[in-house]
Amino acid sequence: MFGKIIGTGSYIPRQFITNEDLTNYIDTSDEWITDRTGVKKRHIMKDETTADMAVEAARKAVEQAGIHVNEIDMIIVSSVSSNVILPNTACYVQDKIGAVNAFCFDINTACTGFIMAYNTAQSYIDTGLIQTALIIGAEGLSKIVDWSDRGTCILFGDGAGAAIIKKDSEAVFDTVMHADGSMGAALTCDNGFAYRPRLIDETENKTMSQEEKNAQSQEGHLNQIQNTYVQMNGQEIFRFAVKQVPECIQELMKKMQINKDEIDMFILHQANSRILQGIAKRLKVSLEKIPMNVSEYGNTSSACIPILLDELFRTGELKEGDKIIMSGFGAGVTLAATYLEV
Ligand code: ACO
């Protein structure tokens, strides 16, 4: 038996940067960014952190679901850009919302992350291990983007989205998931740990002096700092998404023996509008069935899909009984398509 989404929530920082604002820092224009990506602005954290945004999105999802936090058996946070490594962000959320009965873990499958969290929750429900899960996509990408690199900084924004999934005898679930690590170099970001100085000098068999540590740190810093920001081969990612996402969705529909006309909505990772238009064209699906909010938020990686889901639920565009395919795709490379009924 699987679960149904019974509540969603999201958190968007108030502060935002428009395309026009960006022209003060980099050689670009509103026209170029809008034509190539569809992004008009991106919201950026100011006083909040990634973990704080996850907490706020979670609170709203719990409130909308109308459950008590003690009912939550599991919390999964998907993020590539959390401000905390230890404890994991899910444990941070558990503490802040008081979900004392939940066990907690984080996952990193980049922009596919929310779908992987959803699929993981469904698998735990199906095995009978849990009844209720809180899943969250939360990203503070503004902290890992190089704001002097016009090829990447124009694309990304910050935000968080969450959903509560509860065991339901009516729930329907199926999925297709893929990864291709050989394409990993197309989108990378180091955490910088490898460049930190060691505290000992093995060759001399002694601890390093402060000057030696500083020198090693600076050398590593100067050589490698760039790798701690998002590096992207935009055209390779574009080709991957436009070709492989429709194939993945078609594979799912074939597996389930359903066709695209039976699907009410395709809720896709909001990478950029040209990618979404390319996917629609290959699937031969009207853009009306592919909701977009990328112009307002940019690409918020694993937060894109839950933020969009929350908007669609709250505006009533998603209705009980609607048949949906969600699809996430991103760094790794990873991709997944998942079927659900509202
Ligand atoms: N403003 C103005 N000019 C720019 C900008 C900018 N912000 N960025 C790049 N350019 C210039 C380049 O320098 C280049 O100039 P040149 O011809 O003088 O060398 C020219 O524009 C063309 O550059 P390309 O990189 O070839 O531009 P392209 O048409 O590929 O568009 C883009 C770039 C928008 C990044 C595109 O490749 C794309 O959409 N890729 C998908 C990437 C993506 O969505 N990644 C998100 C993360 S992964 C995920 O979510 C799936």
List the beta bridge partners of residue 161.
10, 137
**Choosing from 91, 111, 248, 304, which is the catalytic residue?**
111
Single pTM value for the model:
0.93
* pLDDT tens per residue across span 64-117: 999 999 999 999 999 999 999 999 999 999 999 999 999 999 999 999 999 999
* pLDDT at position 75: 98
Write the CB contacts of 161 (distance below 8 Å, at least 6 apart in sequence): 8, 9, 10, 11, 57, 114, 136, 137, 138, 303, 304, 305, 306, 307, 308, 309, 310
Residue 269 appears among annotated catalytic residues: yes
The Å distance, Cα 37 to ligand 1 centre, comes to 9
Q: β-strands 187-188, 74-78: how paired?
A: unpaired
DSSP 8-state symbol, 240: H
- Report whether pLDDT(223) > 70: no
Name the residue of 25, 27, 36, 229 to mutate for ligand 1: max ligand atoms within 8 A of Cβ. 36
Instruction: Tell me if 42 sits within 8 A of 17, measured CB to CB.
Output: yes
Residue nearest to ligand 1 atom 26, measured at CA: 235
Q: Is the CB of 34 under 6 A from ligand 1?
A: no
* pLDDT at position 189: 95
Q: β-strands 200-201, 231-232: how paired?
A: unpaired
- 162-180 average pLDDT score: 98
Q: How far apart are CA 248 and CA 254, in angstroms?
A: 10
- Report whether pLDDT(300) > 60: yes
Burial group, residue 105, by CB count within 10 angstroms (0-12, 13-18, 19+): middle
Question: How sure is the predictor about 197, in pLDDT bands with cuts at 50, 70 and 90?
Answer: low
Residue 153 appears among annotated catalytic residues: no
**Choosing from 19, 104, 248, 269, which is the catalytic residue?**
269
Q: Is the CB of 104 under 6 A from ligand 1?
A: no
Residue 111 appears among annotated catalytic residues: yes
Q: What are phi and psi of 185, to 5 degrees?
A: -65, -10
Q: Is the CB of 235 under 6 A from ligand 1?
A: yes
- Report whether pLDDT(169) > 90: yes
DSSP 8-state symbol, 72: -
Look up tokens 């540590």; give the residue. 213
The Å distance, Cα 234 to ligand 1 centre, comes to 6
The Å distance, Cα 326 to ligand 1 centre, comes to 26
The Å distance, Cα 99 to ligand 1 centre, comes to 43
List the beta bridge partners of residue 328.
336
* pLDDT tens per residue across span 122-145: 999 999 999 999 999 999 999 999
DSSP 8-state symbol, 107: E
Residue nearest to ligand 1 atom 40, measured at CA: 234
Task: Kindly state the percentage of the chain with pLDDT values over 90.
Answer: 89
Instruction: Tell me if 162 sits within 8 A of 57, measured CB to CB.
Output: yes
Per-residue buried b or exposed e for 285-296, using 16+ beta carbons within 10 Å of the residue's own CB: beeebbbeebbb
